Amino acid sequence: MKRVIISGGGTGGHIYPAIAIASALKEIDPQIEFLFVGAEGKMEMEKVPKAGFNIIGLPIVGINRAHLLKNLLFPVKLAKSLRKAFQILADFKPDVAIGVGGYASGPMLLAAWAKGIPFYIQEQNSYAGITNKALSSKAKQIFVAYPGMEKFFSPSKLILSGNPVRKDLIDISGKKAAAAQLFGLAANKPTILIIGGSQGARSINHAILHGLETLANSDVQIVWQTGVSFESEAKAACATFPTLPSYVSAFIYEMDLAYAMADLVVSRAGALSVSEICLAGKPSILVPFPNAAEDHQTENAKSLVQENAAILVQDVLAKENLVPTALKTLADKPLLSTLAENSFGMGKPKAAQEIAETILKNSTCA
């Protein structure tokens, strides 16, 4: 039987592309057997099984840049993870491995290389991660989402595929009525979708909270994904402004309907969020998380801003500027149209399919 290992994780930005690639491979060849390898205690250990795939966790941890003393156990956990990775390869006997970034992919891909198992890398961001950069010379090919990645990887290995995303996001046309019904909102009222990634976004949440009265005095409604820790506070605050129609939830599973509902998206600039916004063809205001590794979210946001496909609001200025900028943008119909058109032009709806087809064509598991 054909076997594929997919390694990586830590955030939704790594996990959902991995699941999308596996789903595309399975669609082409239902006989492929998959095993995911992630980091113990991270969200992939929950999300991957929910998607119908098996996963094994490694004890690996990331390097703590802020507190160097916390890295004292890193060599020990790396050694344990490498031993476990070699055991996984011996037990599962994969034909090919795919790394989607994050420190969890490091030991697995290194072990695969040592055993002569070909592997591929998928880099979601416009600024390459440490693990992917370190292993790129050993990879068979590298799938990227942004142009200009030659500054990180060998040009001969690059394939500009875009980021794989959930299939239901590729076509959201005709879903507005269903979205309005799900969220309990009006289908014809200007709607701002506020998302902060799988864990919520503190500065975005506080900026919206700060601007709730302004929003309530405007002819708009909001769909607000808060993250678990902010949900109750956001719901309580919205309840004090009955003139602001709102849907508030810690996590939104029906993201296709959330995008269908939105006239404007406010979001972090993680790779997955940016790719989803482009596929949905939505105008957006991006608030990059400034503490992301190598400040890659700012680079992701700039890639859209340079194409007049999004507006950037700095995290430090979000509390004062985010809501006024959102309302000003929402009122400017020509700008909304331009942002939407340019955003849609940057989307790559066949990313997962292209990656799957390339891997099957070039790998021994084909």
357 & 338 share domain? no
**Count: domains in the chain:** 2
Cβ atoms of residues 183 and 257 within 8 Å: yes
Place of tokens 């200009």: 148
33-39 and 3-7 beta bridge pairing: parallel
Which pLDDT score, from 0 to 100, does residue 131 have? 87
B/e letters for 208-218, b = 16+ CB within 10 Å, e = fewer, are: bbebbeebbeb
Query: What are 140's two structure tokens?
Result: 């068979």
Q: Rounded to an integer, what distance in angstroms lies between the CA atom of residue 262 and that of residue 283? A: 9
Q: What is the pLDDT of residues 195-249, one digit of tens each?
A: 975 567 899 999 999 999 999 999 999 999 999 889 999 999 999 999 999 999 9
Grouping H, G, I as helix, E, B as strand and the rest as coil, residue 40 is coil
CB within 8 Å of 8: residues ≥ 6 apart: 14, 15, 18, 38, 44, 99, 100, 101, 102, 104, 105
User: DSSP for 233-302?
Assistant: HHHHHHHT-TTS-EEEES--S-HHHHHHH-SEEEE---HHHHHHHHHHT--EEE---TTSGGGHHHHHHH
Q: What pLDDT does residue 62 have?
A: 66
- For 331, residues 6+ apart whose C-beta sits below 8 A from its C-beta are none
State pLDDT tens for residues 19-69. 999 999 999 999 999 999 998 888 888 889 999 999 999 888 766 555 555
Looking at residue 185, its pLDDT comes to 97
To which H or E segment does residue 38 belong?
strand 33-39
Query: What integer pLDDT is reported at residue 366 of this predicted model?
Result: 47
Pull the structure tokens for residue 20: 């999308």
CA atoms within 13 A on the CB side of 135: 34
Looking at the structure, do residues 119 and 229 belong to the same domain, yes or no?
Answer: no
Note whether 336 and 357 are same-domain residues: no
Which residues are known binding-site members?
Answer: 11-13, 125, 166, 198, 252, 271-276, 297
Residue indicated by tokens 């599973």: 253
Contacts of 67 (CB under 8 A, 6+ apart): none
**Residues, the chain, total?**
366
Rg of the chain in Å (alpha carbons)? 21
Tell me how far apart the alpha carbons of residues 142 and 157 are, in angstroms, rounded to a whole number: 6
Residue 194 φ/ψ, nearest 5 degrees: -115, 115
Domain hosting residue 331, numbered range: 171-345
For residues 216 and 337, membership in a common domain is answered with yes
Residue recorded with tokens 């590794």: 293
Q: Which residue has the higher pLDDT, 17 or 14?
A: 17
Query: 257 and 238 in one domain?
Result: yes
CATH number at residue 183: 3.40.50.2000
Tell whether 355 and 340 lie within a shared domain: no
Give the Cα separation of 194 and 204 in Å (integer). Answer: 8
pLDDT at 141 over 90: yes
Task: Tell me what pLDDT residue 13 has.
Answer: 73
pLDDT over 70 at 179, yes or no: yes
Q: Assess whether 105 and 196 both reside in one domain.
A: no
Structural element, H or E, at residue 55: strand 55-58
Residue pair 184/166 in contact by the 8 Å Cβ criterion: no
**What digits encode the pLDDT tens for the residues 97-127?**
999 988 889 999 999 999 999 999 999 988 8
Mean model confidence pLDDT for the chain: 91
Of 183, 180, 185, residue with least CA distance to 220: 185
Give the integer Cα–Cα distance in Å for 301 and 311.
8
Count of beta carbons in the 10 Å neighbourhood of residue 147: 10
Identify the helix (H) or strand (E) that includes residue 326. Answer: helix 318-331
Q: What angle, 0 to 180 degrees and rounded to 10, lies between the N-to-C axes of helices 74-92 and 105-114?
A: 50
pLDDT of 198: 59
Are residues 147 and 30 part of one domain? yes
The pLDDT confidence band at residue 287, using thresholds 50, 70 and 90, is very high
**Given this model, what pLDDT does residue 64 score?**
57
Binding positions for UDP-N-acetyl-alpha-D-glucosamine:
11-13, 125, 166, 198, 252, 271-276, 297
187 and 244 part of one domain: yes
Q: Are residues 358 and 332 in the same domain?
A: no
The predicted structure's pLDDT at residue 159: 96
Q: Are residues 217 and 308 in the same domain?
A: yes
Q: How far is CA 203 from CA 33, 66, 288, 320, in A?
A: 42, 20, 10, 11
Same domain, 319 and 182: yes
| Measured distance CA(1)–CA(258) in Å, rounded | 39
Return the biggest CA–CA distance within the chain: 63
* pLDDT tens per residue across span 158-173: 999 999 987 777 788 8
